[in-house]
Amino acid sequence: MSLSVTQSQNYKNLTATGTVFTGPCGMFGIFVASASSTPTIKVTDGTDTVVNTFTPAGGTFYTIPARVNTSLVVTIGGTVDCTVFWTP
């Protein structure tokens, strides 16, 4: 018998700051479709920093293998269209 392995995750598209999931969860990463006008992204567990502010590039996937305990929050500055991948 063979087993299949997949990396499918839940996802949420963001163009502004938002809470991706409330409660404990795992984060897989962020795909940035486009970024302009001094773009920034910061990832927090509630108010605790997971990944401090960085400047994203469009067309880039950022692997962020983190576990959060409170809530997964992504803060966006400038103009960013991104999709966050996570699992409860």
User: Which pLDDT does position 13 carry in this prediction?
Assistant: 98
* Domains parsed from the chain with CATH numbers: 10-87 (2.60.120)
CA 64 to chain CA centroid, nearest Å: 8
pLDDT at 6 over 90: no
User: Which pLDDT does position 8 carry in this prediction?
Assistant: 81
User: Which pLDDT does position 7 carry in this prediction?
Assistant: 75
What's the longest Cα–Cα distance across the chain?
A: 52
pTM: 0.91
